A = this chain, B = another copy of it.
Amino acid sequence: MANQSTIVIKLGGTTGVDFSSICTNAAELLKQGQKLVFVHGGSAEANALGKALGTPPKFITSPSGYTSRYTDRKTLDVFLMAVNGKVNSLLTEQLHKLGINAFGLSGMDGKLMIATRKDAIQSVENGKRKIIHDDYTGKIKQVNVTLLEMLLDAGYLPVISPVAVSMAGEALNVDADRVAAMVASALKAETLILLTAAPGLMEKFPDETTVIKSIPQAKLAAALLMAQGRMKKKILGAGEALQGGVARVIIADGRVEKPISNALSGSGTTIQ
């Protein structure tokens, strides 16, 4: 298939992940003819911008105890400024400075990513259940793979922000790890690399010497139990990507030199 050689890379936004090393490494791989797609997050930038503008982030707790961001309309506007106007624009610029013809886009552009809006969310506040209706968060249902292939064939490096469009045309905040998984699946990518501020999935978190080298798809459920915090979403995303036809997912360190090559040569946790 045309896309078997495409690698999708998710750049984690956590402190320590070295965008500069990732971009330099990407430039080397692109020169060798490798096709790449970048996906980034931006929660930290959105939180910081929201604080600076007097709309600090809000979080909700689900009845089952999960905490997630509450994106009301004001928060969505701040989120768009942070992820599209800051993270995406600056990453695209950084790549251009290295001679890479980057193409920044959000999931709204050309309906790259259509998501269903979570229009009624249960939340627990001070022990009381509440239904929230004005949340602009979504779950991706469809990726416009024709558009992505058009950009790749034209020689561009797509740089995708975690924003999707609803069926009603609204902008929605979507999870960047899941974006990366959906994009990799749509492209039937050879490899999905999730670069983060950790060396991989650790058997005994936070002991970095306990990184698990390899997880077969059949053991993902056990790995999900082992994963802490944000790592859970990465494991979920990995499962989705494998089910979607991606050959392997690597969770690897984004804080090192040549993080992409490093992951490809066996560092981190490979799930296949």
Q: Once the chains are docked, how many angstroms separate the CA of A16 from the CA of B93?
A: 33
Distance in angstroms from A112 CB to nearest chain B CB is 9
Which of B88, B93, B168 is close to A170, meaning CB atoms less than 8 Å apart? B93
Please indicate the chain B residues that have their CB under 8 angstroms from the CB of A163 in the complex: 89
Which of B85, B104, B108, B151 is close to A86, meaning CB atoms less than 8 Å apart? B85
Which A61-100 residues have C-beta < 8 A from chain B? 77, 80-86, 88-90, 92-93, 95-99
| CB <8 Å contact, A89 and B106 | yes
Which of B93, B106, B108, B169 is close to A99, meaning CB atoms less than 8 Å apart? B169
* Interface 0/1 of A177-221, CB less than 8 Å to B: 000000000000000000000000000000000000000000000
Distance in angstroms from A176 CB to nearest chain B CB is 16
Which A124-149 residues have C-beta < 8 A from chain B? 146-147
Number of chain A residues close to chain B: CB under 8 A: 43
Task: Give the nearest-CB partner of A159 in chain B.
Answer: B109
Q: Would you call A165 an interface residue if the criterion is a C-beta within 8 Å of the partner chain's C-beta atoms?
A: yes
Distance in angstroms from A84 CB to nearest chain B CB is 4
Please indicate the chain B residues that have their CB under 8 angstroms from the CB of A85 in the complex: 80-86, 88-89
Which of B104, B111, B171 is close to A108, meaning CB atoms less than 8 Å apart? B104
Q: Once the chains are docked, how many angstroms separate the CA of A108 from the CA of B93?
A: 7
Please indicate the chain B residues that have their CB under 8 angstroms from the CB of A222 in the complex: none
Distance in angstroms from A165 CB to nearest chain B CB is 5
Distance in angstroms from A163 CB to nearest chain B CB is 8
Q: Once the chains are docked, how many angstroms separate the CA of A170 from the CA of B81?
A: 19
Q: Would you call A105 an interface residue if the criterion is a C-beta within 8 Å of the partner chain's C-beta atoms?
A: yes
Please indicate the chain B residues that have their CB under 8 angstroms from the CB of A81 in the complex: 49, 81-82, 85-86, 89
Q: Would you call A102 an interface residue if the criterion is a C-beta within 8 Å of the partner chain's C-beta atoms?
A: yes
Q: Once the chains are docked, how many angstroms separate the CA of A93 from the CA of B109?
A: 9
| CB <8 Å contact, A88 and B84 | yes
Closest 6 CB pairs of A and B: A85-B85, A96-B169, A97-B169, A81-B85, A84-B85, A80-B89
